A and B are shown apart, each in its own frame.
Chain A
């Protein structure tokens, strides 16, 4: 049972908190000690959101130290770049094809970086970088808000727990209206990962 440190970053309103809550509970239900903590900006929507999820035999600090992140889940591309330096050597970045341009980039002194620039930033720290068509997959399952489920599905392909270990817990957490489409988004996310993964994570 290896320790797992996942940093989920994004923008308010994109389901980061739901995903990190779910992942923490999945860890607990499968025998891990878990801790999870969020840093939210002051705004209800549109601000940066950072969630730390830690699975381990015994977890002390809820926050993952810089340079100790196994998996960086970027629910938004700029936020993924912002947190790149927290990855450990050998870590993995999983980034959704979601762009939310902040006001500070609109009036223009520092422009929003291109994906190629973001990739270069991430590559300073790690080799495994995946850009996921999460928006397309979520639309395919008829649930555009299920980007977070696609991300969790993709992540699950790197970890030892069986798919049912994830979906059993998530089924209980999801509102009935979105249950089937969300689980489908998760499975499609996992399927997307399988041919892409070059090295197994921890």
Chain B
């Protein structure tokens, strides 16, 4: 049956048909939909783990228990999970264990760009990578088989353009039924990595790679297409699609086994062609592996190493490098210079519960210093974390000083304090991020007697990745009620004495609480609680501006609400977007009290 599936949906369906019994993940673009898809299927266990490290540890246990297990995450998630990743590479598995790493070339929705193919090599773990949804579906079956046959976790790498691109999939399998029953066999030499055992496993790892090198030579999803022998193109992932589109007449070798590479197959291909190039996104990973075989090859000397590729980039680079002739496109008409168009920056939604807190932070802590200037006395530093609220870095809110990696805000704030920086630092992070890795930083503050103020922006969901549950929501990935972890009790439990819960839309309460906490000599936590505007069930009657009262001061624009604009010099509110009394922040900002609930 033909189905139009995204790469993520195809990975989920492929895993399901391969008989996966346990699936676990922490949401992260572009990987989130894998677990969301698989959680809708019957006959397996799926969960949102609190972070990628825990997800992989759960996956490790399930695979030790003999069942097929899927763990998925975004590229930076594998950094979080690196410790168990190396550990499970050392122990190997019993049930198949497939770790999906979804990289984000071009940083569509990430704090950094990294090529996780390197993880395969450094972890001594085989890696597969699809070029479309069909292969994502097919490779999952192979990945589980390889994992069990070679006693190893398998990495399946995907990228944003595979994860989120929909292509036609011939769904030709049914769910595998002849699978191992769960059960644990004692084997301390395999599972207990004291040095004496780990040294033995090191040899097993190297022997495994040698066997895998032979195995991948005949892997059926690597494909050689011999056409014009003047040029041979080796490519993988989405770059293969661009290579086929751009080098129409050339010979092609598509690689789906990324590590180890099929050395003899590549040698044969190299012998067939006059000139060999590699088209790959990000690092010259294949190129360097191939060069180590003693084969002359080029790639990154003309293909960009940074960002996402597309056919146009590949074509222009090949023309410039003299590999392709300049295209004889129909002469375009002469163009007037393109007009300047206003940008559409990402922004917080109308009615967003983060706006009021960030507005207050701006007002209290950023009294006029700009980039590159020393802070004045009384100003404070806002260390931020990763989530929707990071959009508060953009004007008009512009209320953040840092954003690095999940949970970092709290450690950064303590570090600034302990370094002796005279201005106080306030850490800001979301409820999901706090559960992910903020909690450990906060325990560290308590233990080391910092006086950090932490603001948890608690919108009751993991909003940026599309509203997933986490322990604070008490809702599981399948939508069922589960034990809720209460933030205020959690932070009290670790020893924070000054804990305040404020209404996320109440400017006065937020301002007075922040001021009080700044003067405090002990650590404090402010939980600013209010629902994500996209999940609000009852919105109030929209607010409107009384044009007679509006003095065109535009203070209301300082909250950056997309529902507010200017018409004939007066502020106006889009009634379709406004959440009314469910938010009401603009009315609190207006010095004229010109904004109130619509009487229409």
A and B contact pairs by CB, cutoff 8 A, 14 listed: A11-B344, A28-B2, A37-B166, A42-B108, A44-B463, A45-B349, A46-B347, A59-B167, A61-B245, A65-B311, A65-B312, A89-B332, A107-B396, A120-B339
Q: Which of A34, A42, A63, A79 contacts B346 (CB 8 A)?
A: A42
Interface centre among B336, B349, B534 (most CB of A within 10 A): B349
Mark interface residues in A31-62 (1 if CB within 8 Å of B CB, else 0).
00111111111111111100000000001111
Residues from chain A with a CB closer than 8 A to the CB of B168 are: 28, 33-34
- Identify which of A97-105, A152-160, A174-182 touches chain B: A97-105
In the assembled complex, the CB of B122 is this many whole angstroms from the nearest CB of chain A, namely: 30
Asked if A63 contacts B348 (CB within 8 A), the reply is no
Contact with A along B237-276 (1 / 0, CB 8 A): 0100110110000000000000000000000000000000
In the complex, whether B164 has a CB less than 8 A from a CB of chain A is yes
Which of A110-118, A185-193, A194-202 participates in binding chain B?
A110-118
Interface positions of B (Cβ within 8 A of A): 2, 4, 108-109, 132, 161, 164-168, 238, 241-242, 244-245, 310-312, 315, 329-330, 332-333, 335-336, 338-350, 388, 391, 396, 463-464, 466, 534, 557, 560, 562, 564-566
Question: Does A44 contact B167, Cβ atoms closer than 8 Å?
Answer: no
Distance between Cα atoms of A48 and B312 in the complex (Å): 21
Q: Does A128 contact B (CB under 8 A)?
A: no
Q: Which residue from chain A places its CB closest to the CB of B167 in the assembled complex?
A: A35
Report which of B109, B166, B244, B534 forms a contact with A60, defined as CB distance below 8 A.
Answer: B244
Which A residues, 6 to 43, have Cβ-Cβ distances below 8 Å to chain B?
11, 21, 24-25, 28, 33-43
B350 surroundings in chain A (CB, below 8 A):
45
Interface centre among A42, A78, A81, A124 (most CB of B within 10 A): A42
Give the total of A residues in contact with B, Cβ under 8 Å: 51
Q: How distant is A84 from chain B, measured CB to nearest CB, in Å?
A: 8
Q: In the complex, which residues of chain A have a beta carbon less than 8 angstroms from the beta carbon of B396?
A: 103, 107
Contact partners of A101 in chain B: CB under 8 A: 565
Task: Determine if A102 and B344 form an interchain contact, defined as CB atoms under 8 angstroms apart.
Answer: yes
Check B165 against A62 for contact (C-beta < 8 Å).
yes
| Cβ–Cβ < 8 Å partners of A113 in chain B | 339, 341
Q: How far is the CA of A110 from the CA of B342 in the complex (A)?
A: 5
Q: Name the residue of chain A whose CB is nearest to the CB of B342.
A: A105
Set B4, B343, B388: member contacting A104, Cβ < 8 A: B343
Instruction: Please state if A36 and B166 are interface contacts (CB–CB under 8 Å).
Output: yes
> Which 6 residue pairs of A and B lie closest in terms of their CB atoms, listed nearest first?
A105-B342, A43-B346, A37-B165, A42-B346, A60-B245, A102-B344
Nearest CB of B to A148, in Å: 16
Bound: A35/B162 CA distance, A: 11
> B338 to A35, Cβ gap below 8 A?
no
Q: Tell which of B244, B312, B341 has the most Cβ of chain A within 10 Å.
A: B341
How far apart are the CA atoms of A101 and B557 in the complex, in Å? Answer: 13
Residue among A36, A63, A103 making CB contact with B562, cutoff 8 Å: A103
* A10: min CB distance to chain B, Å: 10
Option from B166, B241, B333 in Cβ contact (under 8 Å) with A61: B241
Question: Which residues of B lie under 8 Å from residue A171 when comparing CB positions?
Answer: none
Determine if B332 and A66 form an interchain contact, defined as CB atoms under 8 angstroms apart.
no
Contact flag A102-B345 (CB < 8 Å), given A43-B391, A65-B311, A89-B332: yes
Q: How far is the CA of A79 from the CA of B341 in the complex (A)?
A: 9
CA of A25 to CA of B167, assembled, Å? 9
**Chain B hits for A78, CB < 8 A:** 341-342, 344
Q: With an 8 A cutoff between CB atoms, is A106 at the interface?
A: yes
For A43, the chain B residues whose CB sits under 8 A away are 346-349, 388, 391
Contact A62 B344 (CB under 8 A): no
Q: Which of B241, B391, B557 contacts A106 (CB 8 A)?
A: B557
**Complex contact B312–A40 (CB within 8 A):** no
Restricting to A120-143, which residues have a CB under 8 Å from any CB of B? 120-121, 124-125
Q: Say yes or no: is A163 at the interface (Cβ < 8 Å to chain B).
A: no
- Complex: how many Å from CA A120 to CA B335? 11
With A44-B466, A104-B343, A125-B335 given, name 13 new contacts (CB 8 A). Answer: A24-B4, A34-B166, A34-B168, A40-B109, A45-B350, A45-B562, A61-B311, A65-B312, A89-B330, A102-B345, A104-B345, A107-B557, A120-B336
Contact A103 B340 (CB under 8 A): no
Q: A60 vs B311: C-alpha distance in the bound complex, in angstroms?
A: 10
A85 at the interface (CB under 8 A from B): yes
Most buried by B among A33, A78, A89, A104: A104
> Do B344 and A35 touch across chains, with their CB atoms under 8 A apart?
no
Contact indicator B4/A25 (Cβ below 8 Å): yes
Q: Across the interface, name the chain B residue whose C-beta is closest to A62.
A: B165
Chain B min CB distance to A51 (Å)? 10
- Nearest opposing residue in chain B for A36, CB measure: B166
